[in-house]
């Protein structure tokens, strides 16, 4: 099975090989495990970028292959982050509370610890009660299950309602965007139980691993992200390679026709939508411990639009295109908006890239759409064809 | 002999316009039938109703043995029950190879999880080769469907329909835009197909209908105007008035 996949899609093997080589090289150069040539903060940027590549693959699967322009996949990404963030924040706060109560004459009761955690986490939104959505927050396994279950169920229910009513095209995009906006606005509220606009923070401190320096933890997360990207890529390649992939592309190209061939189009869309939501959520659960903080602004509709832009620039309908697009644009974005790009003084005006990056991105998007409609990944087609002839 | 498809007094109107008006129609298990009629006679709407795309305001549509009520089924369920439809424009999946197009059409389990685990069996690959042979595309199996000529696309689509193994095949204007040689091939394909199943052909082109040499149903303003051999219906004065025009 695996062999036939690699034979049918040689790009899969190439991608996995490059990813492995890159991962090993970075680990060897890292502060935590090797020569110390790559700083911890840059390792974190790379690890986060790998997670963004994974969510871009999900987006490519749902948009590039199945033709559903979802503007909601970053919401699933964010939800995955929130789910893991709850455990990280709860456990870490618990450790802090226990440590601070340890000096008292009487040993702290479970009740006192719970109160302490409540005040610590929710004092900022004017509460001390631990909301009911945090019921499982003390269990890593439960929260890991919720990383998959919450976004998965949301996608399943939303998708079922939308696809069953035969909402397609731009209307479906608007609907997914509305879902994203509603979720973001809900999370902004202080009584949503997830600390409103403060979000969850301190996520880079992994409970039980606080004795390890960030230099080491960051490499672990980098490796985990690379592994997840590799597995995600294989899963996506397997899904799109066989007959299922044929049907999914047929749905994208002519939904009516494939329906009259007897394929239940809605069921296929639902499978793809839910699967990709879960992939996005897993990517998010790996991303936010590296970012350290998650707040509702992360889920804002613009993030999902960026996701679509990455995939479009990288090239739709080719998994490596999504990876190239996400990696290129997000790395460039952090370079330009991180203040590292030199400003250009024009005398009468200074081009400050923090403000002008978005213009550059928009321009890039327009140029790619006009001149390389297949995206950066599409350029490889020409290369391969030249070799073959 | 009981009919394979029984359409009984269906009517449908769009914004007050009666596209189908008390139409009844029957076709047997192995029969080739041509439906002709002027524009707006309701030919395409009739196909839409049988395939589940449009729901009639009144009437019954029964299909197969035991009889299924097609009005209660979705498009994909109707297709799985054995109704195949060829659209006017050749609609094959142009981005995919001829082989993949045929593979998708084979009458295997069509539910997502079964398709995800699907591996083509020897029987399936043999069937694809046999179909390619029949539609004259054996040497084109690995080409992208988008590179085929117009006529070849039409055949590929017919091949895909045959792969579905439908009991009833609805074909909308198969001869449109074809060369003379291609028409001959298409006629042969359809007549052979009708030996083992029912085939309904909607066609404008009288000369093509004559080649099919089958029973003809003339539609006009949403109902049946005449039925019989081509010579019989073309001799009918009402048909001459509304369709052949004089």
pLDDT, one tens digit per residue, over A307-364 is: 999 999 999 989 999 999 999 999 998 888 887 778 888 888 888 888 888 888 899 8
Question: Within a domain: residue A120?
Answer: yes
DSSP annotation string for A252-265: HH-HHHHHHTT--H
> What tokens were used for B172?
């909308």
Give me the domain span that covers residue A72: 2-300
Q: What is the rounded CA–CA span in Å between residue A115 and residue B83?
A: 66
What contacts A134, CB < 8 A, 6 or more positions away?
Answer: A86, A90, A193
Mean pLDDT, residues B158-166 taken together? 90
Three-class SS state of B225: strand
Question: Within a domain: residue A353?
Answer: no
Mean pLDDT, residues A210-235 taken together? 93
**Closest partner CB to A254 (pick from B51, B75, B91):** B91
Confidence of residue A2 (pLDDT cuts 50, 70, 90): very low
pLDDT, one tens digit per residue, over A114-171 is: 888 998 899 888 878 888 899 999 999 999 999 999 999 999 999 999 999 999 889 9
Question: Within a domain: residue A351?
Answer: no
pLDDT, position A1: 39
Mean pLDDT, residues A271-280 taken together? 97
Q: State how many domains chain A has.
A: 1
DSSP state of A38: B
Domains of chain B, each with CATH number or no CATH: 5-244 (3.40.50.300)
**Closest partner CB to B79 (pick from A242, A261, A268):** A261
Mean pLDDT, residues B115-127 taken together? 91
Cis, peptide link before residue B206, omega less than 30° from 0: no
- Nearest residue of A to residue B89, measured between CA atoms: A257
Residue B245 has pLDDT above 80, yes or no: no
> What tokens were used for B79?
């297709």
Question: Within a domain: residue A368?
Answer: no
Question: Within a domain: residue A366?
Answer: no
**Residue A289 in contact with residue A224, Cβ under 8 Å?**
no
Question: Within a domain: residue A376?
Answer: no
**Closest partner CB to B96 (pick from A239, A249, A268):** A249
β-bridge pairing B32-36 and B198-202: parallel
Q: B4 — phi, psi (to 5°)?
A: -75, -45
pLDDT, position A356: 86
Confidence of residue B244 (pLDDT cuts 50, 70, 90): low
Q: Do A264 and B76 make contact, defined as CB atoms within 8 angstroms?
A: yes
Q: How far is CA A211 from the centre of its chain?
A: 28
Question: Within a domain: residue A121?
Answer: yes
pLDDT, position A110: 85
Confidence of residue A235 (pLDDT cuts 50, 70, 90): very high
pLDDT, position A385: 58
DSSP state of A60: I
Q: Do A246 and B100 make contact, defined as CB atoms within 8 angstroms?
A: yes
Question: Within a domain: residue A388?
Answer: no
């Amino acid at each position: 099975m695996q062999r036939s996949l690699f034979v049918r899609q040689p790009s899969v093997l190439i991608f996995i090989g490059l990813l492995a080589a890159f991962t090993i090289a970075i680990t060897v150069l890292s502060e935590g495990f090797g020569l110390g040539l790559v700083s911890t903060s840059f390792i974190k940027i790379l690890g986060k970028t790998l997670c963004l590549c994974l969510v871009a693959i999900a987006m490519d699967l749902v948009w590039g292959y199945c033709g559903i322009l979802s503007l909601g996949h970053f919401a699933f990404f964010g939800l995955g982050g929130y789910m893991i963030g709850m455990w990280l924040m709860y456990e870490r706060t618990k450790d802090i509370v226990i440590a601070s109560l340890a000096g008292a004459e009487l040993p702290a009761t479970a009740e006192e610890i719970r109160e302490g955690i409540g005040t610590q986490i929710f004092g900022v939104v004017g509460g001390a009660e631990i909301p009911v959505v945090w019921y499982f927050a003390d269990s890593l396994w439960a929260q890991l299950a919720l990383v998959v279950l919450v976004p998965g169920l949301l996608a399943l229910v939303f998708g079922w309602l939308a696809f069953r009513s035969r909402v397609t095209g731009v209307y479906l995009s608007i609907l997914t965007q509305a879902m994203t906006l509603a979720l973001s606005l809900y999370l902004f509220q202080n009584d949503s139980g997830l600390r409103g606009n403060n979000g969850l923070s301190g996520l880079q401190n992994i409970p039980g691993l606080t004795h390890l320096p960030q230099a080491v933890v960051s490499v672990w997360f980098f490796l985990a992200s690379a592994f997840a990207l590799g597995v995600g890529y294989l899963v996506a390649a397997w899904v799109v390679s066989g007959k299922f992939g044929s049907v999914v592309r047929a749905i994208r190209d002519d939904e009516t026709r494939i329906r009259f061939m007897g394929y239940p189009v809605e069921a296929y869309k639902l499978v793809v939508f839910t699967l990709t939501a879960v992939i996005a959520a897993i990517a998010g659960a790996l991303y936010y411990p590296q970012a350290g903080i998650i707040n509702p602004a992360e889920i804002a509709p613009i993030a999902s639009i960026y996701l679509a832009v990455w995939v479009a620039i990288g090239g739709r309908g080719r998994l490596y295109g999504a990876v190239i697009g996400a990696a290129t644009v997000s790395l460039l974005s952090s370079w330009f908006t991180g203040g590292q790009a030199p400003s250009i003084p024009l005398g009468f005006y200074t081009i400050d890239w923090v403000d002008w990056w978005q213009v550059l991105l928009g321009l890039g998007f327009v140029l790619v759409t006009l001149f390389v409609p297949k995206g950066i990944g599409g350029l490889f087609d020409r290369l391969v064809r030249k070799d073959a002839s | 002999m009981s009919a394979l498809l029984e359409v009984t007094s269906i009517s449908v109107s769009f914004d007050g316009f009666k596209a189908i008006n008390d139409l009844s129609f029957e076709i047997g298990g192995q029969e080739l039938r041509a439906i002709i009629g002027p524009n707006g006679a309701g030919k395409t709407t009739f196909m839409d109703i049988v395939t589940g795309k449009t729901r009639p305001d009144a009437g019954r549509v029964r299909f197969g043995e035991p009889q299924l009520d097609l009005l209660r089924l979705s498009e994909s369920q109707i297709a799985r029950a054995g109704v195949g439809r060829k659209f006017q424009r050749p609609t094959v999946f142009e981005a995919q190879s001829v082989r993949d197009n045929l593979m998708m059409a084979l009458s295997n389990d069509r539910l997502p999880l079964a398709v995800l685990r699907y591996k083509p069996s020897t029987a399936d690959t043999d069937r694809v080769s046999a179909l390619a042979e029949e539609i004259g595309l054996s040497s084109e199996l690995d080409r992208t469907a988008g590179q085929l000529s117009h006529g070849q696309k039409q055949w590929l689509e017919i091949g895909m329909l045959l792969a579905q193994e439908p009991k009833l095949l609805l074909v909308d204007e198969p001869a449109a835009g074809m060369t003379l040689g291609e028409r001959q091939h298409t006629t042969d394909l359809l007549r052979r197909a009708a030996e083992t199943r029912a085939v309904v052909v909607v066609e404008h082109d009288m000369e093509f209908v004559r080649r099919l040499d089958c029973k003809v149903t003339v539609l006009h303003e949403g109902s049946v105007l005449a039925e019989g051999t081509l010579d019989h219906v073309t001799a009918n004065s009402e048909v001459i008035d509304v369709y052949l025009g004089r």
